[in-house]
Amino acid sequence: MSTLITTPPFADTRTESVLRVSGLRKSFKQREVLRGIDWEVPCGRVIGLLGRNGAGKTTLLRCLLGLSPIDAGTVELFGELMTEPGGERMHRIGFVPQTFDLFPWMKVRAYLDFTAAFYARWNHALAERLLGDWQLDPKQKIGELSQGQRQKLAIVRAIAPEPDLLVLDEPVASLDPQARRAFMAELLELMKAPGKTVIFSTHITADLERADADITLLRDGAIQFTRPLAELREHLRRAVLVRDGGWSHAPVVAGLLKASLKGDEAQLLVEDANTESLQALATREGATLRIEMPTLEDLFVELA
């Protein structure tokens, strides 16, 4: 048994916004996937977009880039509405799709040369280095690459123009641990330059912890919150109340985000937990109290 209490979306107004979404709605036939998304992404941050399978992460990212038509709402990228792609603005965006099945007859080198020919800014040295480091054979056809190698190629293609906004849709899902770490290192290197922003949809929460990302949670077709990871760590605690005979219903405490009952335990995810009042509750209910610091994965499991 579990209860979920939603918190209002967290609006960050510290810096200039790269992306501003308002009232975004998107349906596929009768199924409404995005139900009025309001979201603002500040410049210079790594945003980790979390959500369960089918939550609409890919749809949201595609809508942001104008790759999927929206039913209602507005999307602003770099301060301009996305009603039209706007020419060179698209070259400030790097996109790694979930699957990359592009032009299988082309060789890796030909594909990168083709793409580079259209860009005013293309870091050839970086592309070359990544091809070498990630053991991608430029003479191999894309159709002959494994799914992981294609993912690597998509990342090289997205990073090489040194975009101001990098949108990554589960980019590391097919990568081996070495490649994942190497990718994260490149990402962090890219972020050292001023004004670079990354939106990163993933299920691998360890990567988001490494990048010290702001966490955005997408659930039920809406953004539940966007908060810096450090802030989540600082404010969220799991209070575990244990008593013989278990619990008929979850105890109510201030700042409760989610409660779940497992055997003798009542596990409460609490924001800004007041230890004294929790202790008092434990005494009143004849239970012992244990307070834990949840990992990001724990939080994802609890909240998503």
Partner 1 sequence: MRAVWQLWLQPCRQLLVGALLLQLVWLVAAILLGCVPAVGAGIAGVAATLLGFGTWFWFTMLGMCLRGLCRPESFLLPDFRRRLALMGGLQVAQWALLPMVAALMMGLPHALLGGACILLLASIGLAASSARYVNLLVWVLFVLAGWQPGLAGQIAKAMIASPWTAPLALLLATLITRLSLRSMLRIDDQEPGASPLENVQLGRSRARALDGTPVRRGKLAKRIGAIFDNTSQRAMEQALARYRAKPTWRLRMVLVRRLLLPHDNPQAIALRLVLVAAIVAFYVLAVMHRQHFNAVVVGAYAILLGLSRFPQLGRGMRQMRPNLADLYLTLAPPTRADYQQTLIDALVVLVPITALSTMAYTGLGIVLTHAAEPVRMLVTAAIVSVGTSLTALAVHLIGPEGNLGRGVVDLVVTLGGMAVYWGGYWLLGALGLPFGSTALLLVTLGFGLGVWTSARREYLRRPPSFDAPLA
**Does residue 105 touch partner 1 according to CB under 8 A?**
yes
Nearer to partner 1, 84 or 276 (CB): 84
CA quadruple 197, 201, 207, 209: dihedral sign: positive
Instruction: Considering the complex, state which of residue 92 and residue 210 has its C-beta at the smaller distance from partner 1.
Output: 92
User: Cα(first)–Cα(last) distance of the chain, in Å?
Assistant: 16
| Cβ 127 vs Cβ 156: under 8 Å | yes
**Which amino acid is present at 135?**
Q
User: Site size for partner 1, by CB under 8 A?
Assistant: 36
Please say which residue, 196 or 258, places its beta carbon nearer to partner 1.
196
Q: Would you say 126 and 159 are in contact if contact means Cβ atoms under 8 Å apart?
A: yes
CB atoms within 10 A of CB 56: 23
Please report how close the Cβ of residue 23 comes to partner 1 at its closest, in angstroms: 19
Q: Interaction with partner 1 in 107-146: which residues (CB under 8 A)?
A: 107, 110, 113-115, 117-119, 141, 143-144
**Please, which residue, 157 or 258, has the CB nearer to partner 1?**
157
Tokens of 259: 């409660």
Q: How many CB atoms lie within 10 A of CB 112?
A: 22
For partner 1, which residue of 36, 44, 73, 86 counts as binding (CB under 8 A)?
Answer: 86
Kindly tell me which of 9 and 66 has the beta carbon lying closer to partner 1. Answer: 66
Q: Does 237 bind partner 1 (CB under 8 A)?
A: no
Q: How far apart are CA 211 and CA 202, in angstroms?
A: 12
Task: Please say whether the beta carbons of 99 and 169 come within 8 A.
Answer: no
* Under rule CB under 8 A, residue 103 binds partner 1: yes
H/E element, 219: strand 214-219
Give the DSSP H/E element, type plus range, for residue 115: helix 108-118
Residue from 3, 25, 42, 67 touching partner 1 (CB under 8 A): that is: 67
Shortest distance, position 83 Cβ to partner 1, whole Å = 9
**Residue 93 touches partner 1, criterion: CB under 8 A:** yes
d(Cα 73, Cα 50) in Å, to the nearest integer?
22
Which window, 43-51, 65-73, 179-187, 199-207, contacts partner 1 (CB under 8 A)? 65-73
In 3-state terms, what secondary structure has residue 175? coil
- Of 4-12, 96-104, 125-133, 211-219, which part binds partner 1 (CB under 8 A)? 96-104
Closer residue to partner 1 (CB): 50 or 112: 112
Using CB under 8 A, which of 95, 200, 225, 300 touches partner 1? 95
Listed residue (161, 88, 155) closest to 121, CA to CA: 161
User: In the chain, what is the greatest distance between 2 CA atoms, to the nearest angstrom?
Assistant: 71
Q: Under the criterion CB under 8 A, does residue 69 sit at the interface with partner 1?
A: yes
Can residue 89 be called a binding residue for partner 1 (CB under 8 A)? yes
The footprint of partner 1 (CB under 8 A) covers 62, 65-69, 84-91, 93, 95, 97, 99, 101-107, 110, 113-115, 117-119, 141, 143-144, 157
